[in-house]
Structures are given as C-alpha cells and as structure tokens.
Structure 1
Amino acid sequence: EKLIHTLYTILKELVINGCKANQKRIFFEEHNLSLESKEDYEKGIELYKKAFSEKMALEYGKKSRERGLYCMIDFEFDKEGIRVEVVNNTAILKQEEVSMREKLKKAMGYNDLAEFYMEQAMSGETEGAGLGLALIVILLKGEEIDPKYFRILIQGDKTIARLEIPFSDQFESKRDHDGRPIGEDVN
C-alpha cells in the first residue's frame, strides 16, 4: 500500500510521455517537418512546446486514436512482485534516445529532485530538463527500489517503459530477455 502513490506518480509520468510522443509525431506531420532532420526536429520541438495546451492534448489525442496510435498500460502482479509496462506504438528517434540516455545517467547521481532541477537549469538544459525521468529514478531510490528495475526499451515500432517492483528474492525480472534497451548502440 505504501507504494501506491509512488506507482501512481511514475505511471502518470510515463503515460503522459507516451501520449505526447504519439501526438508529437502527428504535429510534425501536420507541419511538414521531418523527424529525421536535425533542423526540422529542433524547429518542431520549439513549435510544439509553444502550441501545447490541454485543448491541443485532447485534439491530438483524438487524432492519435484515429491514426491507430496508442499508449497502453499492462499490469502483471503476483506474490513475487509487480510489473507494469507503458507501451506506445511509436519508436523513439535516435536523437530522443541519446537525450533520454543522458538524462537517465544524470538522474542516477541525484537523490533530490530540486537539486537535479537546479543543476539542469544552471547548465542551460532546456527540453523538459529531464525532470520526469529524474523524478522516476529519485522516487524509486526513495522507496529503496533499485532503479535498474526501471527500463525503457524499443521493440520494433514500439517504445516500452517498464517498471518492476520485486516483493521477494524469487522475483524474475524480464530485463534479461528484452529487446534493445535505451542506451545500447543502434546499428
């Protein structure tokens, strides 16, 4: 029961990120911007940030559904532990993967979100400042859950964010049987 608030906060962050990733793809398409072009990507992210609102989120949520884009939550639970996966059917782009890997690595060095935020602000870090990923890592550390049980991976055209919480030593993590996790080289 003590993990309910932590799990809720982490899931909310992951679902919002998954939905935004899908919506961002549509936004880029509608503005004739290539996700593969560095210049278009930077321009598109700037436009997306300026345009984003609750109304836009609802509008693009409907567009995502119409185009078959989704963000799904899958729960597995037994006496050994819990496994939650947030899956969306758009793969992370290379530049997003690099950024995410750097943010996760930085977040591992912190135990306090305010400290992480201040350091990011001082270094001029912009896009979201990695607060969501840092929040997840810091919350897990606060619950004495090894952050290695949080993983983001790519399987085909899907991005999967997985959180595993072991309740016993008999818990078997899926992480050793995964596709390519974020951070492994792409060839």
Structure 2
Amino acid sequence: MLLRLRVSLPDRPGVLGQVARAFGVMGADILQVTVLERQAGRAVDDFTVSWSGVFEPDELRERIGVVPGTRVEAVWPTREAPGTSPDYDLLGHVAGEPDRAVVTLVDAVPDLVSADWAVAVDSGNGKVVHGSWQAPEEVPVSELTPLRPATVTEGSLHLACVPMDDTHLVVARSQGPAFHRAELDKIARLVGIVAVLARSGVSRTV
C-alpha cells in the first residue's frame, strides 16, 4: 500500500538520513519526499512510502518517532503515485475539453493532494455543481465560499476551499492532517491554470 507520513524534524544535517534509515529498518520504501516548510530550525516533510503492511501504520509512526527531535504528525493512505505527473495529465485533459474543466478538475484533484473527495460549489447559491465519486450526497459544512483560498476544519474533516470564477473548489480530507499552506497553494495554482485554459479554450470554440 501507499502511505503518506507528515514528519516534523530538526532542520540540521544528518537527521533526514536517520529518518530514512528508520523507514528502511521497518521495510518501508521511500518513493518521494516533499518539503512543506523550513523555519525556526525545523522542517516539515511529507514522505510517500510503499508499505508492505506487516505492521500497523501506527507502529510505523512510533518507530519513526524514535529519531531524536522527530515527530510524526500524521499517517494516512494515499493514491498519489510519485513519478506519474497526474497534474500534467489534468491540464492536458482540460485543454482538450475546456467545457468540462470543472468536472475534470473535481474528479482529479483528490488524488493530486492525497485527499478523499472534492466538490465544485456554486458561489451564488452554495449548491454542489459536481462531486467526485467519493463525495457524500450532502456536503457537511455550512460555509464553503471564502473570497480567497482558505482552509476549514469541521470536526475531523479538513477542507481546502479555492474560488474559481462562478464556483468554488472544495477538497476534503477525513484521514490525515489539515491541509498545509503549501498544499493550499498547490491547489490554488492548479485552479488558476485550469480557469485560464477553460476560458481560452471555450472562447476559441465560440
């Protein structure tokens, strides 16, 4: 299985190597490391690992956490396979079918940020325009249309909300941590590019 681990660790030489060795001892193969932030002498990294499932994910969390100064903030399953460039695939599909831009974006974005589901919400009436196949029939939140990209937490449900023309993209994660600002920025950039491609593509066909 593929797992994502968010790890806070001291930002000094050698610590990342210790964490990598701890993964290796547990039989976890590191496929990708994404640096989310570096400040005040600490770093927050997302590790994508291939995991045999011999141990429970919580045991993986405990074993990695024994590295001095290291804290595993979250462990959750992911479908984001490193090296496959799904974001480029998304943009290619939008460029090819700009009239389906919102549907394509909603269906693709959960896998791009290790989330569970996504919906597009009408900015005027708050109704769901389209939802990915994992999305619930009723979206369990009251306010989904902020004026700028934002994160919201409703109980154990973490949301990233990004405006896009007349709709808002809402991405949800029920397993794992709240969306980091680096993840929110990634979603916002994708939304911006998709919006440009959709507008330019539709205008050429009119």
User: What is the TM-score when the length of structure 2 is the normalising length?
Assistant: 0.28
The structure in which a higher percent of residues are helix is: 1
Compare relative contact order (CA 8 Å, sep 6+) and give the higher one, 1 or 2: 1
User: What is the TM-score when the length of structure 1 is the normalising length?
Assistant: 0.30
